[in-house]
Each structure stands twice: as structure tokens, then as C-alpha cells.
Amino acid sequence: MTGEASVAGGGLAEADLRRLIDVFRETGRRSLDLRVGETRLKLGAPGAVAAEVAAPAGPAVSVASPGVGHFQAAQDWAPGAQVSADTVLGRVRSVWKEKNVVAGTAGAISRQIVRDGAFVEYGETIFEIAGGAA
């Protein structure tokens, strides 16, 4: 990755490990389990498992990004938070526009997939809402 010497056992250099951790944080992913040679890197977002278990049962409806840009949550959304169809969950900001991310269905937040401040593509799933109608 960086061109630096790898750690013993054919693993990753420290700089590579640090970069992987940074990318993990930037993308808002929930987990990463990587093995290179004898080196294993296993990361998990704090509360990720609890967040997925705590969400109410029911069909999950995806809430997609309405555009390309940086996502900004309207508040800290906890799993189980009740929303209506017209609830603004956040915004996607680009250089030229700002678009609201609207729930689109009533239900409870199952999980927030994209962290606040992360870059999103058009159509990328940002939230999942349980109990909503597709």
C-alpha cells in the first residue's frame, strides 16, 4: 500500500494499518476483518452489534441518498427512534446544492449506515427503517 517494508511474517506495515483504520473511520463501515500474512486487523464500530439487535422487528426500508455529496445528520439517530414519512433525517451537501434526506416511510430507525460527514453517492443507502412500508 505505502511501499514501506512490511512487518514480520509478510503482514502490513504500520503506516498501512494506520491508513486502513483511517479509511474505516471515514467510510462509516460497521466492521472490517482483514488478514495479510500473519497480521490480522479486526475493527468494529462502537455499539454496532447492539444497534442492530436493538432495532424493532419488521421489514426494513432503505433510505437512499438523494444526491452526491457529504451527509450531515439532522440529529444523533438512535436505533429504535420513531420517524414519520416526512421526517428529515439529514442533508446531503455538495458544492452547488443541499438536498434533504427524508424518511419516506413511518417506522423506527433500524440503523444509520453512513456516519455524519461521510461522502455519499446518489442512491447509496444511508438509513434503514424497520416497520416501514416499501
Residues 30 and 54 placed together within one structural domain of the fold: no
- pLDDT tens string, the chain, 134 residues long: the values are 433 333 444 556 777 777 777 777 777 666 766 776 666 666 665 544 333 434 445 578 999 999 999 999 999 888 889 999 999 999 999 988 999 999 999 999 988 999 889 999 999 999 999 876 55
Number of structural domains found in the chain? 2
Quote the domain boundaries for residue 98.
48-130
Regarding whether 58 and 40 lie in a shared domain, the answer is no
Q: Are 106 and 132 spatial neighbours (Cβ–Cβ below 8 Å)?
A: yes
Residue tagged 511501499 (cell numbers): 3
For the question of whether the overall pTM of this predicted structure is more than 0.85, the answer is no
Tell me the C-alpha distance between 49 and 70, whole Å. 25
Whole-number Å distance between alpha carbons of 85 and 77: 15
pLDDT given at position 96: 86
Indicate whether 39 and 53 sit together in one domain. Answer: no
Q: Are residues 24 and 55 in the same domain?
A: no
